[in-house]
Amino acid sequence: MRPSLRISAILSAMLALCAICSPQTDPKNVPQPPTAELRKFDPFLGKFQVSGDYSNLPWTGTLELKKVIKGCYIEQTILVKTEGIDREFQILATWDKNAQKYRLWGFQTLPIMPDNGGEIRFEADEMITEWLSSRPDGSTAMFSNRYKFVSKGELEILSYRQIGNGPAEKIGLLKGKRQLDTKEASAVKEAELRAAMDERRKASVAGDTETIANSMADDYIQTDIAGYVQNKTSWLKEYFKPLAELIRTGKFHWDTFDEKDIQIHMYGDTAVVIGTLELKGSGARPTPQHSWVADPDAHPNLKLWFTRVYVKRDAKWLLAALHNAVPLSPPSPAK
């Protein structure tokens, strides 16, 4: 073959190869993730603290499911670090469009077997992973895990093994509690705190001494607008119980008891809350002795600025400290 023809043939082959490879190497030719199919994983995404028993061994660790590779795959990572066990498992799952089923690939800190592929399916509210393994004697073993939420944020994983056509044998039970990231955890705590504050406000209006007392820390301390300091016992005895008695007997009632301009600053299991409290009532008045007496002609009307400190103890938000102040009057206009 003449040199010119040989060069032409080589160039033609290279161009043909480029034509074949171009769709694979073109940065703009990116496959779209199987979003609709992978959406079934959404309830199970997140990180969980897991513990339980697997193959008669106690397990403690974490399990995390998240989207990876631009949402094309679901990555599951299991880290087990407990007495006698130090293991890491990683599983990639995706939707096989051609086979019309979900596929799994497993990687772990154990001897890798050639048949490390598996499948996954969804039944009602369960996610089920399955692995078919060949045994040295030529038989097969099917390993399966069934994931299911037994309550909000509480995941249960039941594991089974089936040898050949024999019965499925339960070999493990793990329970996981969803771990929230810092922002999510703070939002949950704030919602809990707001609910506790609303319950206390309703109890204040109703004169419910028991609920009010249970909403306060035992080491509660407060400073009122006159600078008078009271602990939990003295405040209940001197201030709230006399007022609650007037409310329960119908001699006094609050017309307005509104908490506004609320700002909450979370510091883990401690929160600082500032805001305003607008009070309007009928039938009683406060006394210089920091108590209340009945007075049909009295209509107390007051606006307070408050700073409150709440602490979370035994899963419950408690009021630990309070300071009330009366807003300053606006300055007089300059003459």
Q: Which amino acid is at 155?
A: L
Edge-first strand listing for the sheet containing 301-313: 229-231, 216-223, 316-325, 301-313, 270-282, 253-267
pTM of the model: 0.57
pLDDT of 28 reads 67
- Model pLDDT for residues 86-128, shown as the tens digit of each residue: 889 899 999 998 889 999 888 888 765 555 678 999 999 999 9
Is residue 30 predicted with pLDDT exceeding 80?
A: no
pLDDT at 269: 92
The torsion angle over the Cα atoms of residues 89, 94, 100 and 103, rounded to 10 degrees, is -10
Centre a 10 Å sphere on the Cβ of residue 246 and count the other Cβ atoms it contains.
20
Is residue 23 over pLDDT 90?
A: no
105 Cβ contact list (under 8 Å, min separation 6): 91, 92, 93, 116, 117, 118
Helical ranges in 176-215 per DSSP H: 182-206, 209-214
pLDDT-above-70 percentage for the chain: 87
